[in-house]
A and B are shown apart, each in its own frame.
Chain A
Amino acid sequence: MRVPPGVTPSTFAAALAQFTQVVGKEWVFSSDQDLALYRDAYSPFLNEPEERWAAAAVAPASSAEVQQLVRVANEQRIPIYPISTGRNLGYGGAAPAWSGSVVVDLKRMNRIIEVNEKQAYALVEPGVSYFDLHQYIQEHKLKVWIDCPDPGWGSLIGNAIDRGGGYTTAAHRNHFDSHCGMELVLPSGELLRTGMGAIPDSKTWQSYKTGCGPWVDGIFSQSNFGIVTKMGFWLMPEPEAYLRCTVAVPRYSDLSPLVDTLSYLESSRTTQGFPDIESPLIGYPPIGQIQLWNETGPPNFSEEHHRLLGGVTQGYSPELEAFGLKSGIPYWRLWLSFYGPMEVIEAQWRATQRRFAAIEGASFKVVNRLELPVDPATIENFHEPELGVPSLRIFSLGGRTPWNPTPSHGHMWFSPIIPRTGAAILEANRVFSAAARDLDMPLFRSFTLPACFWERCFVFILATPVTADPATNKRYREGFKKLIEIGGQHGWGEYRTAPVFQKAVMDVYSFNNHALQRLHETLKDAIDPNGIMSPGRYDIWPRHLRGVKS
């Protein structure tokens, strides 16, 4: 029997017996064979002593059972670690942040409590995946869309409280921002509802976010102050039509005006869909087509094009630019999408073209014009999440394909937030490509373009592979931490990270002698005085472990 650190075997056995009374024998797991299923399949410590293991796992079916489990954990001082679907691969999976914690597996709490078509919201439990909610909406022929991440088998709640992102409109892509109302079990075992849900028999829990008084929802994301057992989400009314368009510009120096114009158009809500920047000339795909490149292969370049790409620095050479101008291959291409009534979105696209036309040589194309809804066979021709449909196609990234004959064992995402400017793209490329070279990490194509999941900023995503070789993984882990530190030196910080790197990332958020981290600890001590809940998550440790484990 595995035992949590600091807990005696007899105490743990008694706690497991009490857990069993709550959920039944079938839903308490303590054999090594069963606990292996709670390992992080993409752990950067794969098969090493430091890899995170659970001491047990327990799977409740209701908020009431969660309350009872938490009360037992509090009485017996057992560290617990809630997971929703355990599918945030690359960010920790189902494994606890602190080895020896008991995973509280919420997958069985899979009720879709309400989908309100007229008010366009859903209320769900943590075990509900994007696939589940999408299928429910299809089955019930409801005219609402979800916004889902890649891949789509994760939990709405888990992804939102990990602050993940999706691919439809700006109002929905930020999954934490698009939530409305939470129900939580606090470390004391007490049940709490936030926002308007704090009113008994509230009529507007999913219609007004903040209620009255301090709005506390944010402290329950990327933290360890409670177990979210229900959460509301605003959905998008099914749009009447969809336009997918491109803006292509010819020169390297066009990147800055391209980004600045995009910022204006997005901040003024002239465009709403996921903006996606590619470089046809450098050969860097738009995020929405990465899976397509993995499935059918990257574009074929001419011999001359290949040769010129060998001579670029920061994605540039005068010869490559001249070749692009001569061949009609744009340096940059921005993909934009519009959702709404056709006459509205066509007007938005016209205004968009007018603004971009200030860039000399800009050219425009409508790639798709759809009257919605469309059938599933049509949706397969798109990056499905941009049409609100979950998919697992993203597993072509890292998986075996004709262009990737050696699949990885997983990956870890290095993903700092950088400013929404062309200059920041160039600086991030300069800084991180030099670092990757020094650290001997295989992070870079010749140039990397950032993602636009959230308004007002970029996220500069670099995938670091997890291999079967511990020595290589060690080098990559250390390199990853160095990248975090280098990012911090430039004023950039990660938006989210796996437990292995949470201390390194939070150390970057150090303004005024780590005032923010100290506030997190103050909250931890007040809300969870026994320190039972997810010790170490986002480097928030209970008092008795502070300075010992972190």
Chain B
Amino acid sequence: MPSALINVPPKARRGDIIEIKTLMSHIMETGYRHTEGGDRVPRDIITAFSCLYNGVEVFRADLFPAISANPFFTFTTIAMDSGSFEFHWTGDNGFSETASAPITVE
């Protein structure tokens, strides 16, 4: 399973704006490169990323070949309730990874 690094503040006050950072391991092969023999290297990228906060989608992104390897996303949301963040990455060749991180809201 490819590595992912997730940074969600473990604790927050209700109503706080919190920053979430995710880094996913992926080669993001564009599909535009060729081998020395002239064969095209097939595209292999992540195509979609989403984040659910207690089941509600708070962030979504579509990814394209120009996005660099090991895509890094940082975004903010408002701390509402204790619970968990779920992260989903899907892509070419059946790539599908999930990760989650808990948060305590006081």
Q: Do A and B come from one complex?
A: no
